[in-house]
Each structure stands twice: as C-alpha cells, then as structure tokens.
Chain A
Amino acid sequence: MRTLSRIALVLACLLAGIVALGPILWAASTSFKSANRIFAVPPELLPRSPTLAHYANLIAEGVHWAFLNSFAYAAVAVLAALLFGATAGYALMRYPVAGRPAVLLVFLATMAVPGFAVLLPTQMLAAGIGLQNTWAILPILYAGHILPFTVWVTRSHFATVPRELEQAAEIDGYSRAEAVWRIVLPGAKPALLAAATFGFLHCWNDYVTGSTMVDAPELRTLQVALIFFQGFHGRDWGSLMAGVIIATIPPVVVFLLFRKFLIGGFADGSVKG
C-alpha cells in the first residue's frame, strides 16, 4: 500500500513536470525543424534534420537588436531600483523619516497598481514632456514599477541585520556609509538578489508598457518585436518559436540561478509583511 501510493506520487510528479515543460520543449523542437517538417502529420517530437535557419531568420529581421534593447532597459531599471530602493529601505529602517507612515503606505499601495490601468495617462504625460518614444522612457517606467517591491523587500531584510554590528564597525573607525557598505549590504544580499531577480523578470516580461511608450523599431523591446514579427510572418511558426525560445532563455536562466532568493523573498515579503 505504501509503495503503491509512492508510485502514484512519482507518476503524478512526472505528469506535472511534463505538463509544465512539455509546451516549452515542443516550441524548442519546432524552432529547429526545417520549414517543410513543421506541419508534418503526425507531429514529429524531435526535428529529424535540425536547422538553425529560423534563428538566422530572426537575426536577418533585426530581432537581436530588440533582444539587446530589452536587456539594456531591464539592466538600467534594476540597477536604479536597487540603488534608490535599498537606500530608501535602509533609511526607513534606521532613520527617522518625515511622514514615515504615509511613505510606507505609498510604497505598499503602489505595489497593487496594475500597470495597464495607468497606461493611457502615463503615455499622455510622457508625450507631454517629450519622453515618449525615447530610449529613456522604458527604464524610467520600469524602475518606478519595481521600486515599491524593492523598498519593501530590502527594508524588511535590513531589519534582520543587527544594529549593533553597524555600531561596532563605527566604533572601529568606519564612517556610517562604510559600515553600511561593508556590513549591512553584504548581509542583505539575499534581499537585494530577490529584488533584482523579480525586477528583471518584470522588465523583461513586459509587453503592454513597451508597446505603448515606444514606436520606433530601433527602440522596441523583444516582446514587442516578436508581436510585430508575428504580424508580418504570421504563419512562420518555426521563426516564431525560435523567438519564443530566445525570449524565454534569459528569464528562465535568471530564475534558475536566483530561485532560492526569489522564493525566500516572496515568502518573507508576503507572510512577515
């Protein structure tokens, strides 16, 4: 009876794994099939004569520039959010701050603002100050989107670094800034990595903000470029799946590398508040 339920559990896990990864593996397989085998009946699970033609096709269409754009936007936004978010998180933990409850409420409440709901007024404001359709608009908006979470996660983690540790460093002759840099930040590494990972996933995975704020092809994000690509080559499933794969690799790699911190960060942020 015990072995039987054990076997059932293992089978259920295998099934769950197949359901989760199967679609992605199927897309990967399609992306390597030659054009005339993509619609083969019955479907071929593995490409019989693998080809990189679809990936070459994406490069010929300039999709790799959009890939780099997405990467640059995300990197700038994440670094800015870490810089401003961690300083704010630290100050909220260790310093008296004017209007502290209201400030905390702003960071908490804005985490719940759905991006698309403020999309049109944001677009109109951005157009009004001449930022729409520039390289700067997406990093700025993304940084604003991920800042509240960054503040929240770093703040609750700074609380776990004992104040006495900092004071000891100050007594040893470090300035307060040095003490923060050498003692507090290394201690808060899990929170910083959790915030960075979450931030990167948010920026990289965005579509609606990228598609409304930026028009010029050379400023497009990867997600927007793929939808445009689909518009022109709607039936070219091989190239589209190649696009799906290159759009999926960065967030999945980042997630796999930092999953420990991300999962811990979410558990902390949501349960301990």
Chain B
Amino acid sequence: MHTIRLATPRGLDVLARQARLVGSSLVAPALLLVIAINILPALYGFYLSLHKVFFFGNEGFVGLANYAALFRDPFAWQAIGRSLLFTFAALAVAVPLALLAAMGISRLGSWGSVLLTVLLVPWAMSPIVVALLWKWILVPSPGGLVGAAFTAFGLPPQDLLTNPLLAMPTLIVVAVWRNFAFATIILIGGLGQIPRDLAKAAAVDGLGAWESFRKITLPLLAPSLLIVISMLTISYFNEVQLIIGLTGAGRFGRPPPWPMRSTTPASSSWTRGAATPSRR
C-alpha cells in the first residue's frame, strides 16, 4: 500500500526526487551495458585511430596520419567504390523486388501471409551459413546446381565467384535473396495505410493501373519507401559476413568491399590504427 502524503510543495519535491531516483536506477543497468559495449569501443577506436598502433603496442600519437595514409591508399578508394557499387546495385534490385512482392502479397489475402513467411525464411538464416549454402549451389561442377544449368546450355561450368566480371553480381543476387523480404514487411504495412477508396475513385476517373500506381500508390508509399531504403542501405553497406563467407576475404588478390577491411588486419599490411577509421 502506498502511504498518502500531503501535497505540500516540499512533499512534492521529495516525491519527485524519489521517483527520479527510482527511474534512473531502473534505466542504469541497460544504459551502462550499452555504453560499455557499443560506445566505449567506438571512442577507443577513435582514440586508436589517432595513434600508431602495431598489433597491441601503442607507439604514440600521430594525429590524422592514419587517415591520411588511408586516403592515400588506392586500395581504400577502390574498396569504398566497390562497397558503394555493391550497396546501390543491391538496393536497385531489392527495392523494386520488395515493392512487387508487397503489392502481390497484399492482394493475396490469407495466402499472402503464407508467401511472406516463406520469403522471410532466408532472412532468418545466418549470413555466413547462407554463404556456405550458396557456395555449394555455385560450385563449378556439372554436379552443382548452377554448374548443371551451364551444362544444360552446352557451356562449361563457370566459377561465378572468381570471375572478375560476375563475382559482384553474384554477391548481389545472394545478398538480395537473403533479405529483400524484410523490406516487404514494411512496404506491406505502408500499402495497408493507403485508403482503398482512392484506387477505386481513380479507376472511376479512368486512371489506368500504371498511372494509378504512379500517381497514388507511389507518392503515398514514400514514407515507407524511405524507411526501407535507409534500412537496406545500412544493411548492404555493412554486409561483412556474407562476403567473407562467399569470397574468402579477398581471395583473388583484389581487396574485399570496404567494411571488411576492419576484419582483415592480419592479411593486409594495415596496422590496427589505420583499420579503425572504417567506423566512419
């Protein structure tokens, strides 16, 4: 039972202070853990990026020299370029696909939720496991699934993952296969908020399906599309596990996309100080 206090100004003050104490101490464990695990390492990484660090030995403050070295390194620029290419190409495939799926699913009724569940299964999988799985599918042998397709067309099986021209599109296909359906969830939510009467009114006014899509659906869906695009951009730009798994971390002499540089300090000539700026 709560004791009833008189609502004198001083009493209220005490109550407010007590409530603030309780509230703050309930938040404290989560806050401290998040700061220790997500923010402290980021700050430490920034601190390291201003120092010359060789393995675990700190050899002193060097200012922005690590950043300068990074931006002088042509590999770094190539890696950034490849990351941007991967990100935007994957976006260009995933967003229309997710939109198409969302429109199909919201038209299907109860079967639609079954289809959405099926499409989301790859998203629930671990990226590194997805990579292992696709390595087997892409194995360049007539006994592999893709190899058999090549053989069926009278071509010798190609190793798509080591082909300089086809490796990137292959990575993109696998990345989109894994998670485009996640974007579909949000787009279905957005489509559900568009009033049905609007489409009917448009049809009465003689608007075709394409025009109705372009003039009604797309503008009203813009907020959801924006969320989807920003989420997928973050997800693709940060894609590490899938690419490590599929390419074995720059196995073919070319460095992997940008995010991976921070995970492969030993195989590159980079010291740890230079690897940390990839945070930005």
Interface residues of A (CB under 8 A from B): 9, 12-13, 16-17, 19-21, 23-24, 26-27, 30, 38-43, 84-85, 87-88, 90-92, 94-98, 103, 106-107, 110, 112-114, 116-122, 124-125, 127, 140-141, 143-145, 147-148, 151, 170, 173, 201, 204-208, 212, 223, 226-227, 230, 237, 240-241, 243-244, 247-248, 251-252, 254-256, 259, 263, 266-267, 270-271
Contacts and interface: CB of A to CB of B under 8 A. Distances in A.
A118 B42 contact: yes
B121 A98 contact: no
Given A16-B119, A271-B186, A26 B126 contact: no
B30 A205 contact: no
Nearest to A114: B238
- 9 closest pairs, A vs B, by CB? A144-B37, A95-B23, A39-B143, A91-B26, A205-B126, A88-B30, A121-B45, A255-B124, A207-B128
9 contacts: A16-B118, A23-B177, A24-B122, A40-B143, A42-B142, A96-B23, A113-B38, A173-B1, A270-B186
B162 interface: no
Contact of A16 (B115, B139, B238): B115
A124 B44 contact: yes
Interface residues of B, number: 84
B201 interface: no
A30 B136 contact: yes
A188 to B, nearest CB: 15
Name the residue in A20, A125, A201, A230 with the highest tally of chain B Cβ atoms < 10 Å from its Cβ: A20
A97 B34 contact: no
Interface of B: 1-2, 16, 19-20, 22-24, 26-27, 29-31, 33-42, 44-45, 48, 56, 101, 104, 107-108, 111, 115-122, 124-129, 132-134, 136-137, 139, 141-145, 148, 151, 177, 181-182, 185-186, 189-190, 224, 227, 231, 234, 238, 240-241, 244-245, 259, 262-263, 265, 272, 275-276, 278-279
A237 B139 contact: yes
Given A13-B115, A20-B118, A144 B33 contact: yes
A243 B119 CA distance: 22
Contacts of B126: 204-207, 223, 247-248, 251
B127 A205 contact: yes
B35 A97 contact: no
B185 A121 contact: no
A43 B31 contact: no
A208 to B, nearest CB: 6
Nearest to B174: A23
B133 A212 contact: no
Chief secondary structure at chain B's binding surface: helix
A110 B259 contact: no
Nearest to A44: B143
A252 B115 contact: no
A204 B48 CA distance: 30
A173 B1 CA distance: 6
A144 B34 contact: yes
Nearest to B119: A20
B108 A9 contact: yes
A227 B245 CA distance: 8
B261 to A, nearest CB: 10
B136 A147 contact: no
A16 B101 CA distance: 9
A241 B263 contact: no
A227 B22 CA distance: 47
Contacts of A170: 2
Contacts of A120: 45, 48, 262, 265, 272, 275-276
Contacts of B182: 266
Contact of B148 (A12, A41, A84): A41
Nearest to A205: B126
A264 B170 CA distance: 32
Contacts of A125: 40-41, 44
A13 B104 contact: yes
B128 A91 contact: no
Contacts of B40: 125
Given A207-B126, A271-B186, A9 B24 contact: no
A256 B117 contact: yes
B42 A113 contact: yes
